[in-house]
Amino acid sequence: MNTLSKAPNPSYVTLPECTSPYPSLLDFLDNRFKKIDRETWRARIEAGKVTADDGRPVTLDTPYRPKMRLRYYREVAREPEIPFQEQIIFQNDQLLVACKPHFLPVTPAGPYVNQCLLYRLKAQTDIQDLVPIHRIDRETAGIVLFSVNKATRGMYHALFRSGRVRKIYETIATLPKELDREEWLVQSRIVRGKPWFRMEHADGPVNAITKIWLVDRNDQDAYFRLAPLTGKHHQLRLHLTLLGCQIRNDRFYPVLLPQCEDDFTRPLQLLAKQISFEDPLTRKTMEFCSTRKLSWEFFCHTMNHVASPTKSAEAD
């Protein structure tokens, strides 16, 4: 563990419109950021670590002004060290494509400040205007795209918003004995669950669709290939549970396990393997593939090969 870790770039929060009497800045920050205790915010304000947008420190007596923007630097007392390295697999004037290891968040979150893919890449490339175009979970490894050029950033964001990016994931999951098919189209409605970081299925219009292919199997486990046609949070984990499967080393689904420190010997067996799309500037097909591999040999000493979906998946 490191001692105090401070983010290299500031974070901002804008005071929302509300009816008077207005809260104090301390009350607002305490209510807005549930994971940071009130005394921590008090100490930061008293130390001059929270400023207005112009850089002038606020005080405990600074009045609340709607639409005022506050600036601060995220810091944690002890930041876990993630002992795995990212890989840059492509870079041009518009994009940087990286392969993220398991356990590393894409952006600062919770106890992770400098131990995130974004800040590691900024330090490595000295590109301070680097911005992730999409996200994958901290527990998931694989391909992540970043925008390098602010002028074209919106064009690449639009690809993801409009569903014009084709993503392929790979996973190792438990295999129910009654699961005797090799291909599925899973559809459901996914909504925010409890606690807040979990999702759940609900009645209503479908908003999550995944194609799933069985690649290899043994008596207990299977190697799956997945193509999400939508981008709901934890979609792949939830859709596999509908088949009666559980991704190996998943601590969230189908049952939430007690919180504990990361076990680096047991990464979630989920990999964002491939991304492809038509570049909005050049109109050329761009395809990026991770060289990382899941631990199939560990889970399966003898594999009984079944039909591979590679050709049909890439044709869709």
Q: What is the pLDDT of residues 241-275, one digit of tens each?
A: 999 999 999 999 999 999 999 999 999 999 999 99
Q: Are 101 and 60 in contact (CB under 8 A)?
A: no
- The per-residue pLDDT for 222 is 95
Most distant pair of Cα atoms in the chain: their distance: 69
Could you check whether 5-76 and 87-315 share the same CATH topology? Answer: no
**Where exactly are the structural domains of the chain?**
5-76, 87-315
Q: What is the pLDDT of residues 57-79, one digit of tens each?
A: 999 999 999 999 999 999 888 89
The second-level CATH assignment, the architecture, of 87-315 is 2-Layer Sandwich (3.30)
Considering only CA atoms, which of 133, 120, 134, 53 is closest in space to residue 87?
Answer: 120
Amino acid, single-letter form, for residue 23? P
Angle between helices 25-32 and 38-46 (to 10 degrees): 140
Taking 70 as the threshold, does the pLDDT of residue 181 lie above it? yes
Taking 70 as the threshold, does the pLDDT of residue 309 lie above it? no
CATH class of the domain at 5-76: alpha beta
Q: What is the pLDDT of residues 271-303, one digit of tens each?
A: 999 999 999 999 999 999 999 999 998 886 544
Q: Cα–Cα distances in Å, from 66 out to 12, 13, 24?
A: 14, 11, 12
